[in-house]
Amino acid sequence: MLTNIGIPGLVLILLLALIIFGPKKLPELGKATGQTIREFKKSTKELTGDVIEEFDDIKKEVTDLKK
């Protein structure tokens, strides 16, 4: 998705963000975006870990039943 933007597109997006939000709000916006992405990654890892744990438990039960 972001691979087709390129350097000129990225510069254009940053300039538009600077014009829209101003130089004082831009760092706050970046920080909030970073925190949001960090929380999303954390939640995704927790969910993935729970699913893998459940899968391992089911796999163990199935192997125990085969014995």
Structural contact between residues 29 and 21, judged by C-beta atoms closer than 8 angstroms: yes
Radius of gyration of the chain (CA): 22
pLDDT (tens digit per residue) in 4-31: 778 888 889 889 988 998 888 988 988 9
* Domain residue ranges in the chain: 2-66
SS3 content of the chain, % helix, strand, coil (to 5): 95, 0, 5
What pLDDT digit, counting tens, does each position of 31-48 carry?
Answer: 999 999 999 999 999 999
Chain centroid to Cα 7, Å, comes to 22
Indicate if the pLDDT at residue 3 is higher than 70: no
Q: Which CATH number does 2-66 carry?
A: 1.20.5
